[in-house]
């Protein structure tokens, strides 16, 4: 089997496991936790096992001698591992104090030598102290609830910091007490503003804190080992991760083509479980409401009325709770990625189902543009993922399903329709089968290299399209966004390097590395072994693909993307490989950009998009929120008013009646999302803008016909 067939680039947007194990929601039955917690129980410290010590030694050897990055285990690394480990265990700095941190000063610089030799006790000592401090804090929060939340004062001028990841550790227990009073007040205020009465709030918070407390008492040796090993492995890069035996099982399920569940990949994010990405064609993606970076608050089964609060749960337990049999329904309460704080939540009902390969398939549409009396027919091909039915392929089925085969058929249909150009929509395409990206490039070029792969020994393999036939030789635009990753970036980068078309959208994810999963005596190690480079020599790693024409995006690049991850491998470049150059856009690109910007300024849709982007940015930049009831209510009212104003402006553009209240808007969105058979007759304006850019290309330079006769050049590295 060739390297192209072996390298399957899935889980492209997975966050580093230092921040939490990333799991897919696929098979198995729901998980439940019952029984009251004994608040007076004594925490039983966890201890390392012999198997874990052996696995630690194997992991250290693999990291030092087989990882793409050459990184030694020394005193400097020890300090970094220590910081990353504490970041995982207490990322918001709400359990430990400066006094606790000083206790570990002697351990800090000795972790490296201990990790080389399988001495795990220092890491377990840190873990056990954090668990003990967590129990103390949760009991303190419960004592406040026991005293009655009506005793809390919401008329002060207090504020609470939203993100404490960069805050100083509180100096002592008394300071932490003050912080936790604020935390409880913030939680109460959030639910009051959502319309809950005090009795319901007390029950909800007691369930939350008792659930977290119970899990702290039930800490397992494997929890400590997995967290410690991922803090260690994450020093090399964010995609190198240790999988415990149980997590390995979940990972293997995720790599299967037969998937059942809601079709989402989750990760731990401090106290919350966060959505990393949605599986194309899966129930959550089709339902349409769950989005990357949403945080899950509670889970409700279809046969139960009472939601289960999952704040503070272990990730694997949340995954087990959300999983379930096909055609059953699970309801998630989430804090949307766009929310300013915990005040804003919404509920999403998703019917579990099997993720079918055909529902990930490429599809086509045709849009018609009228410009100055000239009519243009633009073909649009949407590719949700780079897929291939490997089982059918291995069995010799001549009609096996794949991205390239499907797109070839769609191109023939579009050519029969007489389209003037083709827009390839790779937005939100997180990657998939590498050889499909290679073959897809081949549909648009005669033949030649498509991507370079360099391993840790600096050996470079060049994947090439060896088929001289061309499925489509006309004008081409490729749409990308921040969620376009890996195989998508390889395709977009090759089209850009060949001058075969224009790349339009926002900077892509920047996932330009290849991982292999290696078995250990205890679990598995996913380790980065290679790196992708474009035919022009530049890596897709870290930087991604920079569009020729940029379109603003709602996605926060500081939170999503390779360059937002700790210890991500850097961008670099190697020698270019000779390749064709089909068209030189340098003579028209400035005019193309100006025309696009003029349309941007004149377009109501673009103005609304920019207004929404500015609004979201403003909310994300908030560092704190008020704990004064009236001030917080006024802030929430302003947010709701802005949301409603933007939504009604969009409805006005479509000639639809505006909503009177935010509740009407939310109800309408729920109805739209619940109707999985509904279709939007009007393609979104980003696609239409891609069509307009295509029309600009045709108007500005009739030499586009020269695409048929590429001139060969020796490309220079960029």
CA distance 315 to 293: 15
3-state SS string for 54-69: HHHHHHHHHHHHHCCC
Query: Which among 269, 497, 548, 696 is annotated as catalytic?
Result: 497
CA–CA dist 329, 625 (Å, integer): 35
Question: How far apart are alpha carbons 343 and 162 in whole angstroms?
Answer: 12
3-class SS string, 621-677: CCCEEECCHHHHHHHHHHHHHHHHHHHHHHHHHCCCCCCCCHHHHHHHHHHHHHCCC
> Which H or E element spans position 331?
strand 329-335
Phi and psi torsions of 612, nearest 5°: -65, -40
| 488 included as an active-site residue | no
Residue 364: active-site member = no
3-state secondary structure of 112: helix
Q: Tell me if residue 310 falls in helix, strand or coil.
A: coil
Q: How do strand 329-335 and strand 346-351 relate by DSSP bridges? A: antiparallel
Catalytic residue chosen out of the listed positions 244, 298, 361, 486: 486
- To the nearest 10°, report the CA torsion of 356, 362, 365, 370: 140
CB 188 within 8 A of CB 203: no
Q: What is the DSSP string of 682-707?
A: SPPHHHHHHHHHHHHHHHH-GGGGGG
- Residue 165 burial (C-beta neighbours within 10 Å; 0-12, 13-18, 19+): exposed
The encoded tokens of residue 252 equal: 């293997």
Options 286, 511, 526, 531, the catalytic residue: 511
Answer whether 504's CB lies under 8 Å from 545's CB.
Answer: no
Q: Decide if 152 contacts 628 (C-beta within 8 A).
A: no
Is 256 tagged catalytic? no
Closest CA to 86 of 167, 178, 16, 18: 18
Angle between helices 604-620 and 685-700 (to 10 degrees): 120
The catalytic site residues sit at 486, 497, 511
């Amino acid at each position: 089997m060739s390297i192209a067939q072996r390298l399957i680039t899935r889980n492209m947007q997975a966050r580093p496991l230092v921040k939490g194990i990333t799991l897919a929601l696929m098979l198995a039955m729901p998980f439940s936790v019952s029984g009251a917690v004994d608040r007076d129980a004594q925490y039983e410290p966890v201890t390392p096992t012999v198997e874990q010590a052996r696995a630690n030694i194997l992991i250290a050897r693999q990291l030092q001698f087989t990882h793409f990055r050459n990184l030694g285990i020394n005193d400097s690394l020890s300090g970094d591992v220590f910081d990353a480990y504490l970041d995982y265990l207490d990322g918001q700095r709400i359990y430990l104090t400066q006094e606790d941190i000083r206790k570990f000063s002697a351990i800090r610089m000795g972790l490296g030598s201990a990790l080389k030799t399988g001495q795990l006790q220092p890491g377990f000592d840190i873990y056990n102290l954090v668990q003990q401090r967590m129990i103390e804090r949760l009991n303190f929060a419960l004592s406040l609830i026991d005293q009655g939340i009506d005793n809390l004062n919401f008329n002060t001028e207090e504020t609470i910091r939203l993100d404490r990841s960069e805050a100083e550790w509180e100096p002592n227990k008394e300071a932490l007490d003050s912080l936790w009073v604020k935390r409880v007040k913030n939680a109460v205020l959030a639910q009051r503003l959502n319309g809950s009465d005090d009795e319901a709030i007390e029950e909800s918070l007691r369930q939350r804190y008792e659930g977290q407390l119970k899990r702290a008492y039930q800490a397992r040796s494997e929890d400590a080992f997995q967290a410690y090993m991922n803090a260690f492995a994450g020093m090399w890069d964010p995609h190198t991760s240790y999988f415990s035996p149980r997590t390995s099982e979940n990972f293997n399920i995720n790599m299967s083509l037969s998937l059942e569940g809601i079709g989402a990949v989750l990760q731990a994010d401090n106290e919350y479980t966060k959505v990393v990405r949605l599986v194309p064609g899966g129930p959550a993606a089709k339902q349409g409401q769950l989005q990357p970076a949403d945080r899950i608050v509670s889970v409700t089964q279809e046969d139960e009325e009472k939601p289960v609060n999952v704040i503070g749960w272990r990730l694997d337990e949340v995954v087990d709770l959300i999983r379930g049999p096909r055609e059953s329904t699970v309801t998630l309460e989430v804090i949307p990625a766009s929310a300013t704080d915990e005040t804003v939540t919404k509920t999403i009902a998703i019917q579990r189902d099997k993720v079918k390969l055909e529902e990930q398939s490429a599809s086509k549409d045709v849009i018609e543009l009228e410009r100055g009396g000239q009519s243009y027919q633009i073909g649009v091909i949407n590719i949700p993922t780079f897929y291939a039915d490997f089982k059918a392929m291995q069995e010799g089925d001549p009609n096996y399903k794949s991205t390239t085969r499907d797109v070839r058929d769609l191109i023939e249909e579009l050519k029969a329709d007489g389209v003037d150009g083709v827009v390839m929509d790779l937005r939100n395409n997180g990657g998939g089968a590498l050889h499909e990206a290679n073959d897809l490039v081949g549909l648009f070029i005669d033949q030649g290299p498509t991507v370079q792969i360099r391993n840790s020994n600096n050996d470079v393999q060049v994947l090439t399209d060896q088929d001289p036939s061309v499925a489509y030789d006309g004008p081409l635009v490729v749409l990308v966004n921040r969620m376009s990753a890996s195989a998508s970036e390889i395709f977009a980068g090759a089209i850009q390097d060949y001058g075969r078309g224009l790349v339009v959208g926002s900077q892509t994810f920047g996932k330009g590395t290849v991982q292999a999963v290696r078995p250990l005596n205890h679990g598995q190690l996913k380790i980065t072994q290679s790196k992708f480079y474009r035919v022009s020599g530049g890596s897709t790693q870290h930087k991604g693909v920079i569009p020729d024409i940029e379109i603003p995006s709602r996605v926060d690049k500081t939170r999503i993307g390779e360059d937002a991850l700790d210890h991500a491998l850097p961008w670099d470049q190697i020698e270019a490989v000779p390749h064709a150059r089909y068209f030189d856009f340098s003579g028209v690109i400035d005019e193309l950009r100006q025309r696009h910007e003029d349309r941007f300024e004149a377009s109501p849709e673009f103005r609304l998009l920019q207004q929404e982007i500015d609004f979201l940015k403003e909310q994300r930049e908030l560092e704190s929120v008020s704990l004064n009831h009236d001030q917080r209510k006024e802030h929430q009212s302003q947010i709701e008013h802005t949301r409603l104003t933007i939504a009604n402006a969009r409805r006005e553009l479509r000639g639809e009646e505006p909503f009177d209240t935010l509740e009407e808007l939310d109800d309408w969105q729920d109805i739209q999302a619940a109707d999985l058979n509904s279709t939007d007759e009007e393609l979104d304006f980003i696609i239409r803008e891609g069509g307009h850019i295509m029309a600009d290309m045709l108007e500005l330079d009739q030499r586009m016909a020269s695409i048929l006769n590429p001139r060969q050049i020796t490309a220079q590295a960029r």
